[in-house]
Structure 1
Amino acid sequence: MYDKKQQIIEVGMKLFAERGFHSTSIQEIADHCGISKGAFYLHFKSKKDFTVAIYRYYYDTVKNRLDEVGARTDLSPWQKFELEIEVFFEEFMRKKEFIIMHFQEHFSIHKELEVLVFKMRIEAHAWYEKNLLEIYGDEVKPFIVDGIILIEGLVDSYMKVILFDGVDLDLKEFSKFLARRADDVIRGMLNKQEKPQLNKAMFKPLYQINDRNELREKVNTILVDMKERLPNLVLEKTKFEDLDKTLDFLLKEVKKEEPEKIIFQGMLSNFHGVSELEDSRQQIADLLEIKLIS
């Protein structure tokens, strides 16, 4: 991301948190950045698009750091879990302005932002599921959804205490404490052979999409996100041009009443090996219920 664009986003996050989304004008954001209003619109088409950029910036920052921990081979699954909690809360503390805006503002969310938030929630659940399976094995599968909901509740509660009550915690020690409490939750269910209360079938908006238009909208938004991120990746010119054309083609295909799944399956293979877009590629495959090929 360009330094100026990042600066505008961070200033906007801070002003939204201090004054509120509706009370902060584009002109005020531009003034605080030392740029003209016209220069702001060189980076963002509208205030709503700017809001989407803020969410994407926060999401990408957290995800990139978590991916770095997840890729380490010198840590056990449990050590990764502890460190990922620590990293998550570190970024939470650095981006408190964003969290304040998220909790305090109730502005109307347009479709692109709604789908991005949906994507963030899916990936959060996938992250929890991956960690729980790596630590506890197949035994935890019946309790995956209950475990995720309970652990998310712990995390969200501590986030609010830190945010709104100004509590200052030692993040390294706190992360270990929270990981142990998550362990208490999971082992309690396993040891007592509790009957699971939740399963994925109960969460159709999260795990299943039955409406055809909604499905196309979600795939379209992921493709748009991939196209916007593509110029920031380190790629050879020919590779960049090939992927850019692929995305343009898929964006046309997804607008059809019945997008051809086999076309998506074939063309998504062009992105194999582009690690920064692998999650997006997998999300489209999951939504369309197709198997990725190399």
Structure 2
Amino acid sequence: MSVLKEKILESAIRLFAEKGYQATSIQDIADDCSIAKGSLYKHFSSKEELYISILEKRQQDMIDAVDHIRKMQLPTKETYLEELAYQFDFYVEHGYYISRDHNELPPVNNDKIESVLNGMRRSMFLYYQDILLRRYGPGIEEWKCDATAMLSGLIREYTFHLLFGYLPIDKKRLAVFIAERMDDLMEGLAKRPVPSLLTDELMTEYSQIDLKGLFASREGRKDALIQKIASIIPDIAVPNQRKNELAEVAAMLREESAKDQPRRFLQLALLRDLESESELSFYAKQLLPLI
């Protein structure tokens, strides 16, 4: 993503939060970025597309953070607790949609935006289901959707109190509390099994979502960023010898990242070298959370 496109998104997030979606115009956002409205339209064809891009960026930020937690290779229970705690960190920072403020609500009567929001809600439901299946195993298969609905409800309700009640609840402690309540639920179902209410037949729309595809896209973004860096190097204002060095660094980073078990320390060292050049710094910083 270009520096200008990132700036436009940040401006839109702030203005949508402060004024609301309906009251914010494309001209407002362009003025805030000190650019002509036509320049903004080169990146986003409409306010609707801009709003959707913000939603998709938020979801991708969450996916990247979750993927980072999983790659820490903690014990299963610790990974479970870290992922639960991160949900509260994320929503407290970003809110349910774009901002944590009351002013920001999704646009009404917009079929395209509502379709994106519904897709994101279903993706989050499947993500919570995946958390539970990894924690408790196939033994909960019969009640996986009901258990997911309960976990989702707990997260949403406590997030509401954190966001709008400003209650001073420690998020790590909250994650442990919810994890223990889910333990109680799973134990109760094992002792007194009951038929599932949210059956696979009722939840068929969720089976059409490829959760693995969401996480797989992370690798595609990493490859695209490395390719972008490589394409910029020939045009930056440094001596040719330095350009050659940087091209070798980018090639080494691409090669290392493609390995089944890339060496993170080497990737970080290569990124630091690329980040030292101002023209490459923006893209190198975007790569950091993907390493």
TM-score under structure 2 normalisation? 0.66
Q: What is the root-mean-square deviation in Å for CA atoms of aligned residues?
A: 3.3
How far 1:88 moved relative to its partner? 2.2
Give distance in 2, aligned partners of 1:101 and 1:2: 30
Instruction: Quote the residue 2:16 is aligned against.
Output: 16
Amino acid at match of 1:7: K
Q: In structure 2, what is the Cα distance between the partners aligned to 1:136 and 1:231? A: 32
How far apart are the structure 2 equivalents of 1:86 and 1:230? 26
Cα gap change, 1:109/1:196 in structure 2, threshold over 3 Å: closer, same or farther?
A: same
Summarize deviations over 1:188-211 as a string: whole Å, max 9, x none: 2223223322212112333359xx
Task: Report which stretch shifted further, 22-31 or 173-182.
Answer: 173-182
Distance 1:58 1:206 in 2: 21
CA distance in 2, matches of 1:30, 1:195: 55
Instruction: Indicate if the aligned counterparts of 1:66 and 1:88 stay in contact, CA closer than 8 A.
Output: no
Partner residue of 1:233 out of 206, 224, 227: 224
* Contact 2:17–2:101, Cα closer than 8 Å, also in 1: yes
Q: How many residues align?
A: 224
Cα pair 2:30 2:40 within 8 Å, conserved: yes
Kindly state the Cα deviation for residue 56 of structure 1 after the two structures are TM-superposed: 0.6
How far apart are the structure 2 equivalents of 1:82 and 1:185? 16
User: Which aligned pairs between 1:96-135 and structure 2 lie closer than 5 A?
Assistant: 96=95, 97-98=98-99, 100=101, 104-111=105-112, 113-135=113-135
- Structure 2 residue matching 1:233: 3-state secondary structure: helix
Q: Given the superposition, is the C-alpha separation of residues 57 and 68 from structure 1 closer, same or farther in structure 2, using an over 3 Å criterion?
A: same
Shift of 1:19: 1.6
Per the TM alignment, residue 91 of structure 1 is displaced from its structure 2 partner at its CA by 2.0
Q: Report if aligned partners of 1:146, 1:196 keep a CA contact under 8 Å in 2.
A: yes
Residue 176 of structure 1: CA displacement? 1.9
% identity of equivalent residues = 26
Is contact 1:78–1:135 with CA below 8 Å preserved after alignment?
Answer: yes
Paired residues for 1:267-282 under 5 Å: none
Structure 1: which 5+ runs fail to align?
Answer: 210-217, 241-272, 276-294
Q: Do the aligned residues in 2 keep the contact of 1:129 with 1:144 (CA within 8 Å)?
A: yes
Residues 1:17 and 1:188: Cα distance change in structure 2 (over 3 Å): farther
Structure 2: stretches of 5+ with no match in the other structure: 232-257, 261-291
Q: 1:101 to 1:164 in 2, by over 3 A?
A: closer
**Between Structure 1 and Structure 2, whose CA radius of gyration is higher?**
2
Residues 151, 182 of structure 1: 8 Å contact kept: yes
